[in-house]
């Protein structure tokens, strides 16, 4: 978390010294340093001398140490949230004698120029088998802020919410190969005349596109049309299976773009359903409490995913209820299945493509084949997310400002939050074998025509295999493939207005 926020902060320039004491002597500087404290590993220091290739700083312990010019080259002056000034050419371009600055001590004892990040972040990691919290950090440093953003900060998840909508669509009869029209659309409020014209992040339109491709390319208009097709009430009911608080979900089409207000812990809990093959688990922190005499006073008995859940393919998802009671004292509680195993497996396959082909491709550098997840970025880049998993850990990372403001034009979930997630997961999964839920019974693999989404005719060019629930197979090649949303577009390319009666 700290490394990721420091890296983001340094991309956006140097804000200058925290204070300036040019007239004080060493004793005066020492007195000023005594009132400062280390924040997130960033130590206070005062510049005592400036050389051509380094600076000397006085630290709080009274020692004087060198900071190499190499560690200062990043410090282009901050102009605004999207601009920095010229590259410095010497230490004097960055600091002055008497500046109160921050330094980061490396493992070898050397110091680097740093500054306390203004952006904040959160990261939480769960065991998808029972909800055990394996890692949690609610901000850059507790010394800076006691606010726990994992459990307290409700922010919009953006596109990282889309998998819940896509999952609902799969259980409503859509398939990963279904075609949806990625074309302009507008909504008109019949009472105020207010118009909402949602866009894709790059203002392009791809026309009819397969659901799988639309997810890994994060096409906003496809998500909205899917929500139109399945219905908002159905989608709101469906998301309860993932433990998401209904009162925080908007009852309008912006829901498809992630305008709910959710905490990172709630997002991780929701993604755990995909990660464990369709079971609802409850996050918990304390596993056991012992007395000072070694007597166990409390032992957690969280609902767990069955060790041998079977295929689960024909299990009917039910409304989320309380955990199944234990059969007796100490008997393990069984987590409730809330999602068909086949739906969970297909969704994981689609979310793996987000990493293989989509907005999270940089995670390929981890060299693992068992990673799945989704990036999320909100309007004006105010929130950046990545939620992802394998069978061992489900982890959510968020970055943003406590008082919402843009992270910058070129900052997205894939550039800000994903690196934090990768750094953690790379360490957490080191030396662990690939692990995802096993493939359940009741799936089909069919060769699909990429243009129609139908079963490919023999010899069809570009045909590929796609996963299907055997109870929702693709249409045969003799059938015309409907394209939901296509009728919304006029022949001149203009979007047909849709009554905005749900806004």
- Give residue 443's pLDDT: 96
Q: How confident is the model at residue 479 (pLDDT cuts 50, 70, 90)?
A: low
pLDDT above 70 (res 334): yes
Cβ proximity of 398 and 417 under 8 Å: yes
Lowest mean pLDDT among 113-127, 246-260, 418-432, 449-463: 449-463
Alpha carbons within 13 A on the beta-carbon side of 191: 3
pLDDT (tens digit per residue) in 96-132: 999 999 999 999 999 999 999 999 999 999 999 999 9
pLDDT at 330: 62
Q: Answer whether 47's CB lies under 8 Å from 56's CB.
A: yes
Q: Check pLDDT > 90 for residue 375.
A: yes
Q: How far apart are CA 495 and CA 503, in angstroms?
A: 19
Question: What digits encode the pLDDT tens for the residues 153-197?
Answer: 999 999 999 999 999 999 999 999 999 999 999 888 776 778 889
How would you class 491 by CB atoms within 10 Å of its CB: exposed for 0-12, middle for 13-18, buried for 19 or more?
exposed
Residue 81 is predicted with a pLDDT of 84
- What pLDDT shows up at residue 187? 85
Residue 309's pLDDT is: 63
In this model, does residue 492 exceed pLDDT 60? no
Whole-Å CA distances, 382 to 81, 165, 288, 387, 445: 12, 22, 39, 17, 40
Q: pLDDT band for position 493 (50/70/90)?
A: very low
Give percent of the chain above pLDDT 90: 81
How distant, in Å, are the alpha carbons of 74, 121, 284 from that of 204? Answer: 35, 31, 43
């Amino acid at each position: 978390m700290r490394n990721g926020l420091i890296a983001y902060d340094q991309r956006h320039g140097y804000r200058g010294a925290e204070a300036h004491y040019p007239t004080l002597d060493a004793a005066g500087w020492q007195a000023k340093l005594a009132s400062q404290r280390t924040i997130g590993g960033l130590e206070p220091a005062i510049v005592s001398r400036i050389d051509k290739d380094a600076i000397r700083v006085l630290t709080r312990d009274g020692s004087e140490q060198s900071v190499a010019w190499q560690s200062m080259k990043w410090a282009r002056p901050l102009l605004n949230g999207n601009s920095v000034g010229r590259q410095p050419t010497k230490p004097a371009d960055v600091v002055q004698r008497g500046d109160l600055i921050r330094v980061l001590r490396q493992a070898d004892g050397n110091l680097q120029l740093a500054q306390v990040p203004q952006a904040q972040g959160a990261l939480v990691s769960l065991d998808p088998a029972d909800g055990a919290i394996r890692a949690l950090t609610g901000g850059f440093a507790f010394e800076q802020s006691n606010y726990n953003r994992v459990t307290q900060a409700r922010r919009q998840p953006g596109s990282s919410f889309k998998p819940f909508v896509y999952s609902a669509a799969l259980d409503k009869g859509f398939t990963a190969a279904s075609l949806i029209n990625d074309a302009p659309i507008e909504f008109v409020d019949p009472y105020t005349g207010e118009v909402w014209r949602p866009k894709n992040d790059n203002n392009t339109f791809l026309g009819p596109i397969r659901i799988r491709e639309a997810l890994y390319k994060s096409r906003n208009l496809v998500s909205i049309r899917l929500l139109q097709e399945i219905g908002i009430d159905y989608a709101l009911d469906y998301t309860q299976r993932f433990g998401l608080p209904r009162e925080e979900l908007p009852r309008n089409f912006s829901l498809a773009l992630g305008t709910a207000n959710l905490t990172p812990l709630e997002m991780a809990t929701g993604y755990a359903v995909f990660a464990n093959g369709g079971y609802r688990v409850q996050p918990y922190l304390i596993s056991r409490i012992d007395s000072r005499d070694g007597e166990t006073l409390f032992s957690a008995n969280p609902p767990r995913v069955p060790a041998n859940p079977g295929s689960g393919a024909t299990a009917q998802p039910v409304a989320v209820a309380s955990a199944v009671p234990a059969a007796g004292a100490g008997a393990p509680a069984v987590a409730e299945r809330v999602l068909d195993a086949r739906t969970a497996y297909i969704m994981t396959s689609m979310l793996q493509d987000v990493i293989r082909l989509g907005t999270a491709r940089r995670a390929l550098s981890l060299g693992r084949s068992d990673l799945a997840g989704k990036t999320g970025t909100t309007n004006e880049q105010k929130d950046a997310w990545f939620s992802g998993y394998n069978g061992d850990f489900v982890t959510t990372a968020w970055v943003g400002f406590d008082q919402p403001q843009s992270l910058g034009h070129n900052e997205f979930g894939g550039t800000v939050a994903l690196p934090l997630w990768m750094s953690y997961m790379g360490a957490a999964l080191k030396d662990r074998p690939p692990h995802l839920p096993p493939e359940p019974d009741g799936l089909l693999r069919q060769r699909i025509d990429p243009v129609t989404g139908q079963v490919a005719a023999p010899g069809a060019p570009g045909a590929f295999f796609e996963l299907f629930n055997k109870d929702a197979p693709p249409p045969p090649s003799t059938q015309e493939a409907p394209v939901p949303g296509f009728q919304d577009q006029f022949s001149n390319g203009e979007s047909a207005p849709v009554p905005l009666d749900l806004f």
